[in-house]
Structure 1
Amino acid sequence: MTLTDIAPSVFETVESEVRSYCRAWPVVFEQARGSRLYDEHGRPFLDFFAGAGSLNYGHNNPVLKRALLDYLARDGVTHGLDMSTTAKRDFLEAFRSAVLEPRALPYKVMFPGPTGTNAVEAALKLARKITGRETVVSFTNAFHGMSLGSLATTGNSAKRAGAGVPLPHVTRMPYDHYLDGRMPDFLWFERLLSDPASGLDRPAAVIVETVQGEGGINVARAEWLRGLAELCRRHEMLLIVDDVQMGCGRTGEFFSFEEAGITPDIVTLSKSISGYGLPMALCLFRPELDQWQPGEHNGTFRGNNPAFVTATAAIDTYWRDHALRDRTLARAGRIESALGDLLGEDGRAAVALRGRGMVWGLEFADGERASAVCRRAFELGLLLETSGPRDEVVKLLPPLTVTDDELDEGLGILARSVRHAAERATV
Structure 2
Amino acid sequence: MTVTQPDLTVFESLESEVRSYCRAWPTVFDRAQGSHLYDEEGRDHLDFFAGAGSLNYGHNNPVLKRALLDYLERDGVTHGLDMSTTAKRSFLETFHRLVLQPRHLPYKVMFPGPTGTNAVESALKLARKVKGRESVVSFTNAFHGMSLGSLAVTGNAFKRAGAGIPLVHGTPMPFDNYFDGTVPDFLWFERLLEDQGSGLDKPAAVIVETVQGEGGINVARPEWLRALAELCERQDMLLIVDDIQMGCGRTGAFFSFEEAGITPDIVTVSKSISGYGLPMSLCLFKGELDVWEPGEHNGTFRGNNPAFVTATAALEAYWSEGDALEKQTLARGLQVDQALAQITAENRPHVKEYRGRGLVWGLEFHDKERAGRVARRAFDHGLLIETSGPESEVVKLLPALTITPDELDEGLRVLDRAVRETA
Structure 1 position 348, deviation (Å): 2.6
Tell me, in whole angstroms, the C-alpha distance in 2 between the residues paired with 1:154 and 1:279. Answer: 22
Structure 1 position 332, deviation (Å): 1.2
Structure 1 position 81, deviation (Å): 0.2
Structure 1 position 7, deviation (Å): 8.0
> Which position in structure 1 is the counterpart of 2:316?
316
Quick check: 1:135–1:204 contact (8 Å CA) kept in 2?
yes
Distance 1:291 1:255, change over 3 A: same
Letter of the aligned partner of 1:306 in structure 2?
P
Does 2:126 correspond to 1:129? Answer: no
> Which position in structure 1 is the counterpart of 2:374?
373
SS state at 1:38 partner: strand
Quick check: 1:332–1:356 contact (8 Å CA) kept in 2?
yes
Tell me, in whole angstroms, the C-alpha distance in 1 between the residues paired with 2:8 and 2:62. Answer: 36
For residues 80-136 of structure 1, give each alpha carbon's deviation from its aligned partner in whole angstroms, at most 9, with x where no partner exists: 000000000000000000000000001000000100000000000000000000000
For residues 153-201 of structure 1, give each alpha carbon's deviation from its aligned partner in whole angstroms, at most 9, with x where no partner exists: 0000000000000000011100001011111000111111111111100
SS state at 2:109 partner: strand
Tell me, in whole angstroms, the C-alpha distance in 1 between the residues paired with 2:331 and 2:401. Answer: 11
> Which position in structure 1 is the counterpart of 2:333?
332
Counterpart mapping for 1:21-420 below 5 A:
21-321=21-321, 322-420=323-421
- The ranges of structure 1 where at least 4 consecutive aligned residues each deviate by more than 4 angstroms after the TM superposition are 5-8
Quick check: 2:350–2:367 contact (8 Å CA) kept in 1?
no
Structure 1 length as normaliser, TM-score?
0.97
Q: Which runs of 5+ in 1 are unaligned?
A: 423-427
Tell me, in whole angstroms, the C-alpha distance in 1 between the residues paired with 2:296 and 2:274. Answer: 25
Tell me, in whole angstroms, the C-alpha distance in 1 between the residues paired with 2:8 and 2:119. Answer: 38
Tell me, in whole angstroms, the C-alpha distance in 2 between the residues paired with 1:393 and 1:8. Answer: 28
Distance 1:22 1:323, change over 3 A: same
Tell me, in whole angstroms, the C-alpha distance in 1 between the residues paired with 2:85 and 2:213. Answer: 34
SS state at 1:96 partner: helix
Tell me, in whole angstroms, the C-alpha distance in 2 between the residues paired with 1:346 and 1:32. Answer: 33
> Which position in structure 2 is the counterpart of 1:425?
none
Letter of the aligned partner of 2:269 in structure 1?
L
For residues 365-401 of structure 1, give each alpha carbon's deviation from its aligned partner in whole angstroms, at most 9, with x where no partner exists: 1331101100110000000000001100000000000
Quick check: 1:156–1:389 contact (8 Å CA) kept in 2?
yes
Distance 1:65 1:8, change over 3 A: closer
Structure 1 position 334, deviation (Å): 1.1
Quick check: 2:385–2:395 contact (8 Å CA) kept in 1?
yes
For residues 202-261 of structure 1, give each alpha carbon's deviation from its aligned partner in whole angstroms, at most 9, with x where no partner exists: 000000000000000000000000000000000000000000000000000000000000
Letter of the aligned partner of 2:416 in structure 1?
A
Q: Which runs of 5+ in 2 are unaligned?
A: none
Once structures 1 and 2 are overlaid, which stretch shifts more, 115-124 or 193-202?
A: 193-202
For residues 279-321 of structure 1, give each alpha carbon's deviation from its aligned partner in whole angstroms, at most 9, with x where no partner exists: 0000000000000000000000000000000000000000112
Tell me, in whole angstroms, the C-alpha distance in 1 between the residues paired with 2:157 and 2:350. Answer: 27
Structure 1 position 351, deviation (Å): 1.2
Letter of the aligned partner of 2:367 in structure 1?
D
Quick check: 1:372–1:421 contact (8 Å CA) kept in 2?
yes
Equivalenced residues, count:
418
Tell me, in whole angstroms, the C-alpha distance in 2 between the residues paired with 1:345 and 1:47. Answer: 24
Tell me, in whole angstroms, the C-alpha distance in 2 between the residues paired with 1:8 and 1:242. Answer: 36
SS state at 1:280 partner: coil
Tell me, in whole angstroms, the C-alpha distance in 2 between the residues paired with 1:351 and 1:156. Answer: 21
Tell me, in whole angstroms, the C-alpha distance in 2 between the residues paired with 1:346 and 1:33. Answer: 33
- RMSD (Å) for aligned C-alpha atoms: 1.1
For residues 10-56 of structure 1, give each alpha carbon's deviation from its aligned partner in whole angstroms, at most 9, with x where no partner exists: 10111100000000000000000000000001100000000000000
SS state at 1:351 partner: strand
Quick check: 2:8–2:28 contact (8 Å CA) kept in 1?
no
Quick check: 1:99–1:254 contact (8 Å CA) kept in 2?
yes
